[in-house]
Structure 1
Amino acid sequence: MKSKTFDVIIIGGSYAGLSAGMALGRSLRNVLIIDNERPCNRQTPHSHNFITHDGKTPKEISEAAREQVKAYRTVEFYNGTAEKMSKDPEGFKVETSSNESFYAKKLILASGVKDLMPAIPGFAESWGISVIHCPYCHGYEVRNEVTGILADGDMAYEFSKLVFNLTKNLTLFTNGKTNLTSEQIQKLDQNKIRVNEDEVQSITHEHGYIREIIFKNGKTVPLKALYAKIPFEQNIDVSSDLGCELTEQGFIKVDFMQKTTVPGVFACGDNVTMMRSVANAVAQGNFAGAVANKELSEEDFEIGNF
């Protein structure tokens, strides 16, 4: 692709990025979407809680969205990875892993996050299938099943409140001596939520569907689903490259307009919020695209650029 200056470069072509691209394409903006086609939910068999698309595969939704965005002739796609971003006299420069450079007046970061898997055999293979992160995305499908939560402390306690509505056969696995307070343990017990402090050795599964947890002491517990909250990191280094601030939790800091702390740079989707869902990503992307277009329109209007 011949290098040129775009109105907006969108880094990430999944739900948030495609939604932003559609909003901008419909506003006749010249847009480049850079994507390496490795979404974080690529193992997930079905996507839920997104009205009109409930139960479709993530790939079905993204492929349909991509085809619809392609209909807007001002939107272009680049299959690759954005390696470095920097301020440029005219806006921003994006360099790819293939040593190509592109320029834009505005940037939208829809690059998602990378989940950091624990060193538990079977965990990564089951992630997004039966080891799940969100009761809103997956909870209905495993309702009333033998269910676990792999977490500890305050976060585990709060997460238990959400999950116990979906099953009455729930165990909290703390993977070692718990940090729960005695009051929290008492409340969990009151709601018939078991607490297991055994250290996890591995997860047995069949094509990603859990059969049981095996502990280091030799004990086993059969399971159908396991909720887990695991650490993550940003897919791209927005902090050192652009100077975008991150929150204490590691998300890109944005205001209510999806603006980062760097003027001209917007962010949307999983990289800005713990509410990781297709519906939320689409909504944030659409809004980020609209706000970026508004900024461009106001700047052009001010200088009489017609």
Structure 2
Amino acid sequence: MSFIDVHHHLIGKQHLAGMPDWSLELDKESMDRMGLTNALLSLPVAGAPEQTRGINDMIAGLAAKDPKRYGMLACLPSAYVDAALREIEYACDTLKADGFCMPSNASGIYIGDDRMDEILAELNRRSATVLLHPTKAGGEIPSLLVTDLSTYEYPFETSRAMIDLIYRGKIQKYPNIKWIVSHAGGVLPYIAYRVSTVAQENKAMPLTSDEVMSSLKTLYYDVALSTAPYVFATLKELFGTSHIVFGTDAPLRYEGPVTESIQQLKSYRGFDEGEKSKIMSENAKELFPRLR
């Protein structure tokens, strides 16, 4: 049975400090042990144009070594609009990328910002699939006891980026972009009702409450770090199993916890076998036709 990981990173030599050892061979061995058949390699960065081109060439080179197993999500120099447009063309036409991985903000510019419109318009024209990945918030973060941003700030960051994108009407303006939201949408599913009521109470909002909820339901939600039963139940209730995809956050999330997440999905009684098959691979195949 196919088991596709849409949220799967690589670690380049320049990123090894403080990171787990990584190579394509080690990754394939780990995937075999866990039962993952395919993965979309990505790096959630938005650097300078030259740096981004080098990263995309590196990802493409790694994926090309085992194309039956790996695909690639290209990154973009999102703070440099003209360069980003060139990189979309290069990634799609030359590297044959399966989609893109974009951080929630690039140098403090969030994906819903009007300065991103030319980039979104081109992604829309190409009917691109985009994995939205959180990064450090575009502002100061208060000093708290828990300093690991992945614990709480990244889910909040994912949510604020998507809420801004939705409130600005960009989901409706660029309907051909297929968005995958990392980590089950951050906190978005749990505040969806509250998010929709803002449009009802604030007459200056460009969207109605129904339009906000409709926009939320067009998104896809990966379950990296989000495989608890109550998360599954919430996603199914709000969005249906056709909009849930499997992700791991490997190798930043180690093999043991990922294996546990796989078992949590397989053993969850709220999904029937057909629904589990959708989440494990069929929904991803719709988003990434090459993996069919």
Under a length normalisation based on structure 2, what TM-score does the superposition of the two structures give? 0.28
Higher percent of residues as strand: 1
Under a length normalisation based on structure 1, what TM-score does the superposition of the two structures give? 0.27
Higher percent of residues as helix: 2
